[in-house]
């Protein structure tokens, strides 16, 4: 069972609709006590880093989610949900993320902000997440900040927007994607299926 975390800052219903289309059992989890019902977690995210951390803490999600992550259980962070895997963000320097990956988030400077629309990825390190996908496949992005991992081994794919930045991260069974696979057509659905069946 896939648990889609509701902390007040995510595109929950589009994510649930995508998994339902793939015929994968999922539920929106509003209570940390219900994590016992799921074997995989998706953390979607829309909005600011600091606000998300505040809501996660206010709703008593921070400790259970960090415990899940430190145990290396299956996890997919989408957009802001990926950024929250890291330590800090220039967007909200006083707020600390889950810090399961070392690094921070920076704001785009070279191009129009936010980046909105379709862009491609360049696979840097193979992962089962990419089965049936390839470099130059396009996905849908909406974001102003991007992650800067301290350990380049965490970068699984990059995207060019004025300069190259990390758009997919992975470590063991923990993954994050900067784009929105639930809004990325067949390629996004393939990635979500891979995450459930192969990762």
Contact 181, 18 (CB under 8 A): yes
Estimate the crossing angle of helix 12-21 against helix 185-198, to 10 degrees.
80
Among candidate residues 105, 158, 180, 199, the one labeled active-site is: 180
Q: Which two tokens stand for residue 178?
A: 């900067």
Q: What is the value of pTM for the model shown? A: 0.97
**How many CB atoms within 10 Å of residue 143?**
23
Using alpha carbons, list the distances in angstroms from residue 94 to 28, 31, 54, 115, 168: 29, 26, 11, 24, 25
Q: Is the pLDDT of residue 44 over 90?
A: yes
Query: Structurally, how many domains does the chain consist of?
Result: 1
Predicted local distance difference test score (pLDDT) of residue 141: 98
Among candidate residues 26, 158, 182, 199, the one labeled active-site is: 182
Could you read off the pLDDT of 155-197 as tens digits, one per residue? 999 999 999 999 999 999 999 999 999 999 999 999 999 999 9
SS3 category, 174: strand
Tell me if the bond preceding 108 is cis, omega within 30° of 0: no
Domain of 56? Answer: 2-198
Q: Is the pLDDT of residue 21 over 90?
A: yes
Residue 122 among the catalytic residues: no
Residue 180 among the catalytic residues: yes
CATH number for the domain that contains residue 49:
3.40.50.880
Predicted local distance difference test score (pLDDT) of residue 110: 82
**How many CB atoms within 10 Å of residue 23?**
7
Could you read off the pLDDT of 58-93 as tens digits, one per residue? 999 999 999 999 999 999 999 999 999 999 999 998
Predicted local distance difference test score (pLDDT) of residue 11: 80
Residue 79 among the catalytic residues: yes
- DSSP classification of residue 4: E
Among candidate residues 79, 91, 105, 199, the one labeled active-site is: 79
Percent above pLDDT 70 for the chain: 100
């Amino acid at each position: 069972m896939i648990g889609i975390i509701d902390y007040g800052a995510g595109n929950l219903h589009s994510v649930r609709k995508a998994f339902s289309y793939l015929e994968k059992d999922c539920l929106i989890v509003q209570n940390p006590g219900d994590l016992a019902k799921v074997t995989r977690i998706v953390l979607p995210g829309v909005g600011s880093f600091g606000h998300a951390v505040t809501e996660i803490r206010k709703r008593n999600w921070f400790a259970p989610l960090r415990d899940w992550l430190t145990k290396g259980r299956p996890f997919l962070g989408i957009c802001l949900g990926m950024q929250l895997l890291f330590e800090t963000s220039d967007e909200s320097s006083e707020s600390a993320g889950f810090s399961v990956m070392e690094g921070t988030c920076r704001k785009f400077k070279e191009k129009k902000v936010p980046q909105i629309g379709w862009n491609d990825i360049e696979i840097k390190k193979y992962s089962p997440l990419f089965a049936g996908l390839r470099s130059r496949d396009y996905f849908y992005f909406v974001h102003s900040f991007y992650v800067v991992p301290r350990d380049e081994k965490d970068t699984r794919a990059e995207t060019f927007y004025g300069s190259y930045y990390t758009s997919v991260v992975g470590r063991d069974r923990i993954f994050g994607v900067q784009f929105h696979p639930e809004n990325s057509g067949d390629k996004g659905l393939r990635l979500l299926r891979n995450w459930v069946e192969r990762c």
